[in-house]
Structures are given as C-alpha cells and as structure tokens.
C-alpha cells in the first residue's frame, strides 16, 4: 500500500483517488477528473506529461491491491473482485491471469504455503 501512495504529482493523486473509489464499483476517468477538479482532457494531458495514462494507473492499482487482498485468506475471490471494482469474479480472474500468468487461487495457495513455511521457521528459531 505504501508503494501505491508514494507517488507524487497528478499520477499520485489519481492513484490515491483510485484506491478510495474502487470499492464503490467501476471507476471512470471522468469521475476521477471531477474529484481532481479538472476537465477530463486536462487530466489526460497531465498524466501524459508524466508518461502514463489513466488505464495504466488503474491496472497498476488493481494489480497491487489484488496481491494485498489475496494474502488475506478471509477475503473471498468474489470480495476481491468487488473491492477492485470488477463487475464479476471472472473479469478479475482473467486480469490476474494476464498480470501474473497464473490463477489467483494458485497465487493464494503458494502465498499461504510461503507464509506457513516462514511461520514454522520463525517458531523453530524461537525455540532454540
């Protein structure tokens, strides 16, 4: 989350707005521009000046948040999809597959295995 909030400039402000708005459903560039108190064309131009686009920022925020949400096993895939502003879980799982080359379920399973291994290692070191 810190990485997502660390960016300065217009792109940083857009990232922060995206994080706050995604839970309410799909987010549009127009809605973010309005929150930034500028015209959509101005937002597009300022992002272009920073070498990015609204769609790139949206994908990056969704991807980074997806990893965070998937580490929390109490959050279902359907909830993750909703929290990221996807209309359904299928759209989210396809996006996750595109980002990582693997399924969200597979990622979650391997993260759990990694976390279990780290916890076991910490426990054995503490017992020494």
What domains are there in the chain, each with its CATH number? Answer: 2-127 (1.10.10.60)
Q: What pLDDT was estimated at residue 111?
A: 80
Specify whether the CB–CB gap between 112 and 120 falls below 8 A. Answer: no
Q: What pLDDT was estimated at residue 23?
A: 84
CB-side neighbour CA atoms (13 Å) of 108: 17
Residues of the chain predicted below pLDDT 70: 1-7, 112-128
Q: Which two tokens stand for residue 100?
A: 């990582």
Q: What pLDDT was estimated at residue 116?
A: 45
The pTM is what?
0.80
């Amino acid at each position: 989350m810190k990485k997502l909030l660390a960016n300065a400039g217009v792109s940083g402000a857009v990232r922060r707005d995206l994080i706050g708005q995604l839970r309410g459903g799909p987010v549009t560039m127009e809605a973010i521009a309005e929150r930034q108190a500028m015209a959509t064309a101005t937002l597009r131009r300022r992002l272009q000046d920073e070498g990015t686009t609204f769609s790139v920022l949206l994908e990056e925020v969704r991807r980074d948040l997806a990893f965070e949400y998937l580490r929390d096993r109490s959050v279902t895939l359907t909830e993750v999809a909703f929290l990221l502003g996807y209309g359904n879980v299928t759209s989210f799982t396809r996006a996750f597959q595109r980002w990582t080359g693997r399924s969200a379920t597979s990622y979650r399973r391997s993260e759990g295995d990694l976390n279990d291994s780290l916890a076991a290692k910490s426990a054995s070191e503490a017992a020494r």
